[in-house]
Structure 1
Amino acid sequence: MNCTHPMTGKGADGMSHKTRNEVIHSFQVNFFAMSLLNAFPWDSLDREIMTTTTSDIIMEILQMTCLHPICLKNPPSLKYRRRFLTELIKRHEMLAAEPLDVLYEALGEVMCAQEEDVCYKTYLLPTGDAVSLAENVAVISQGTTGLVTWEAALYLSEWALENTHLFKNKTVLELGSGIGLTGIVVCRSSSLTKYIFSDCHQTVLQRLKENISNCLTNCDSNSASVCVEELDWENVSDEQLQRIQADTIIAADVVYDPDIIAGLVRLLSRLLNGKVHEEHPDVYIASTVRNPQTYDCFKKELEMAGLRHVVMKDSVAHVFPYNRASSIEMIKIYV
């Protein structure tokens, strides 16, 4: 199963029309990533429904989403599955076909179940492998935003999939790993020497370790040494950085709070100024620019610290579903 978005044909009306298999695949990818319901190709499904009097495509979508083994083991949130099934039933009722009992049974099960604080988002890699991450249902939970996956992490993961050569035989340090998507994708796709996940929030570190264990243990594609470091940007010692000795440093969505920018830039300066490394590491940071003033402040702090940057213009293949309208910028930082 290829997770990249396939090319679609053009209909006589000039609109892009997905094939039946593309529609089903798109539903699966978006469902497991818990995309907003308006991101699903409902119009394409409606066109398929209009050309048949059977429930076959609805049943196939159900089998590839709510009844799929991934969902049974690592389910999206109950609220999300309720909304999804309700909309799927609405589309099915457009058919002049017999009621699909299994569809109503699936909705009945989730209606009776009790919501938990933790759900799973699953991202399908181009190889067909699945990365299932436990994350909190609430965006802000236990005083942190680090228990959910953010858009810049998805972008950085896509970029890493296209630039595996940059990680070959390297020791990679990730700052602010959160629940671990980017690092797990890099470890699953690149021939690393070592990957160091890091964060400073205890609850995030615990969730991170669980996701790493679930996604990387006994993974044939992962031959790298993997570890998790508690890394406080303000208080990290030279001894800890010496022990890490990273060749490549990456981070996603770490530039969001003006109060932490100075500490981040000081750490980057220490990593790049040659005092803790024989050679300057490569540093790549991807950011969703939510507040341009905050992001400009980060760039000014870099300049004041004697650090330069260049904006990475690489185009990346769309592998994961997320809001492409978001302004995401990736930079390489150097001395």
Structure 2
Amino acid sequence: MEYPPDNSWLEPIKRQYYAVVPLKQFIWPDDLDDATQLDFYNEVLNDIRMVNLQPRRSYIFMIFKALQRSIEGYGDTMISEIAEIWQNMLIQSCTRGSEDEGFSYKSYFLDENLKNGVVLTLKESDAFLCKGTTGLVTWEAAKILS
């Protein structure tokens, strides 16, 4: 599939990443060449507004593993900017353990404009959400209950 030159393919990826969409529903581009990876790095992983509002570390690990598999599946290599983030996360998990900080974020872009639009961010605490719950995603659960 050819993607538009304006990088509009990044919008759904960014929405999926920050909303912590399950990987089986995650839509990757068909080609992850160096330019595509750099766009992903700049627009998703290095977004200044979102740098302190990252998803759960375990989710980020799964994203990096899936990204690496996709890149290698095309016979490409991971660009240094993404590889450096991945390497730093692996080092941190060895020194601090693989557990999350006790909370994480899910962010929902409410406007079409991802750069300047409204973002609803939920801070989730492990004290309230634990394994074995009903499986409802926070935002979707809130919409159902409202």
What TM-score bracket applies, with the shorter chain setting the length? Answer: 0.7 to 0.9
What amino acid maps onto 1:110 in structure 2?
M
**How does 1:250-289 map onto structure 2 within 5 Å?**
252-253=144-145, 286=146
**How does 1:59-138 map onto structure 2 within 5 Å?**
59-97=38-76, 99-113=78-92, 114=96, 115-126=100-111, 128-137=117-126
Match of 2:22 in 1: 36
- Give the deviation of 1:18 after TM superposition: 7.4
- Give the deviation of 1:24 after TM superposition: 1.3
Instruction: Tell me, yes or no, if the aligned pair for 2:103 and 2:124 is still in contact at 8 Å.
Output: yes
Q: Measure the CA separation in 1 of the matches of 2:3 and 2:120.
A: 26
- Give the deviation of 1:94 after TM superposition: 3.0
**How does 1:246-325 map onto structure 2 within 5 Å?**
252-253=144-145, 286=146
- Give the deviation of 1:151 after TM superposition: 1.4
Q: Measure the CA separation in 2 of the matches of 1:133 and 1:79.
A: 17
Q: 1:108 to 1:71 in 2, by over 3 A?
A: farther
Instruction: Tell me, yes or no, if the aligned pair for 1:119 and 1:134 is still in contact at 8 Å.
Output: yes
Moved over 4 A (4+): 96-99
Match of 1:27 in 2: 13
Q: Which runs of 5+ in 2 are unaligned?
A: none
Instruction: Tell me, yes or no, if the aligned pair for 1:74 and 1:119 is still in contact at 8 Å.
Output: yes
SS of 2:138's partner is coil
Q: Which runs of 5+ in 1 are unaligned?
A: 1-16, 157-251, 254-285, 287-335
What amino acid maps onto 1:119 in structure 2?
S
Q: 1:139 to 1:88 in 2, by over 3 A?
A: farther
> Please, what is the CA RMSD of the aligned residues?
2.8
Q: 1:18 to 1:149 in 2, by over 3 A?
A: farther
Q: Measure the CA separation in 2 of the matches of 1:135 and 1:152.
A: 13
- Give the deviation of 1:101 after TM superposition: 1.4
Instruction: Tell me, yes or no, if the aligned pair for 1:122 and 1:131 is still in contact at 8 Å.
Output: yes
Q: Which has the higher helix share?
A: 2
Q: Measure the CA separation in 1 of the matches of 2:37 and 2:52.
A: 22
Instruction: Tell me, yes or no, if the aligned pair for 1:124 and 1:131 is still in contact at 8 Å.
Output: yes
Q: Measure the CA separation in 2 of the matches of 1:67 and 1:137.
A: 25
Q: 1:26 to 1:116 in 2, by over 3 A?
A: same
Q: 1:97 to 1:109 in 2, by over 3 A?
A: same
Q: 1:101 to 1:117 in 2, by over 3 A?
A: same
**How does 1:171-182 map onto structure 2 within 5 Å?**
none
Q: Measure the CA separation in 1 of the matches of 2:76 and 2:141.
A: 43
- Give the deviation of 1:70 after TM superposition: 3.5
Instruction: Tell me, yes or no, if the aligned pair for 2:68 and 2:78 is still in contact at 8 Å.
Output: no
- Give the deviation of 1:80 after TM superposition: 0.7
Structure with bigger gyration radius: 1
SS of 1:76's partner is coil
Name the TM-score, length of structure 1 as normaliser: 0.34
- Give the deviation of 1:150 after TM superposition: 4.2
Q: Measure the CA separation in 2 of the matches of 1:62 and 1:129.
A: 21
Higher relative contact order (CA 8 A, sep 6+): 2
